[in-house]
């Protein structure tokens, strides 16, 4: 699967997804961003997505909405999404939104933490 947002490595039903952009904003077509993530679940039949956010320095609330949507979709099918390599600024955004513990996350100061299914 080709993407302008991600580099994707599939290992059976696990997708490691490296976000390639440093900013995710409405100018980047967040709708397509969400569709490409959803496609992994629906077309590639992955049950676990590891979303590497290492390159991302900034994202909008629209991106958070897409991540919530994907998290719910994965949870409904007994799958799991993990946000990994979050920068402290991103962790703070998610913490302020009371979402840091909603998602399964890892980051510089966190082992595989938080999250619920």
Give the pLDDT confidence score for residue 45 in this predicted structure. 86
Q: What is the pLDDT of residues 63-79, one digit of tens each?
A: 999 999 999 999 998 99
Domains of the chain by range and CATH?
Answer: 6-110 (3.30.750.24)
- Give 39-91 as a DSSP string: HHHHTS--SEEEEE-TT--EE-HHHHHHHHHHHHHHHHTT-EEEEES--HHHH
Helix axes of 30-42 and 61-76: crossing angle, nearest 10 degrees: 10
Taking residues 2-15, what's their average pLDDT? Answer: 91
pTM recorded for the entire structure? 0.85
With beta carbons less than 8 A apart as the criterion, state whether 108 and 88 touch. Answer: yes
């Amino acid at each position: 699967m080709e993407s302008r947002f991600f580099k994707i490595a599939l290992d059976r039903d696990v997708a490691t997804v490296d976000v390639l952009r440093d900013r995710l904003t409405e100018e980047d077509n967040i709708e397509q961003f969400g569709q490409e993530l959803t496609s992994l679940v629906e077309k590639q039949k992955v049950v676990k997505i590891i979303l590497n956010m290492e390159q991302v320095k900034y994202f909008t609330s629209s991106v958070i909405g897409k991540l919530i949507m994907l998290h719910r979709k994965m949870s409904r099918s007994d799958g799991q999404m993990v946000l990994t390599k979050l920068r402290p600024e991103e962790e703070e955004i998610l913490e302020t939104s009371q979402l840091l513990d909603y998602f399964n996350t890892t980051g510089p100061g966190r082992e595989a933490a938080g999250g619920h299914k």
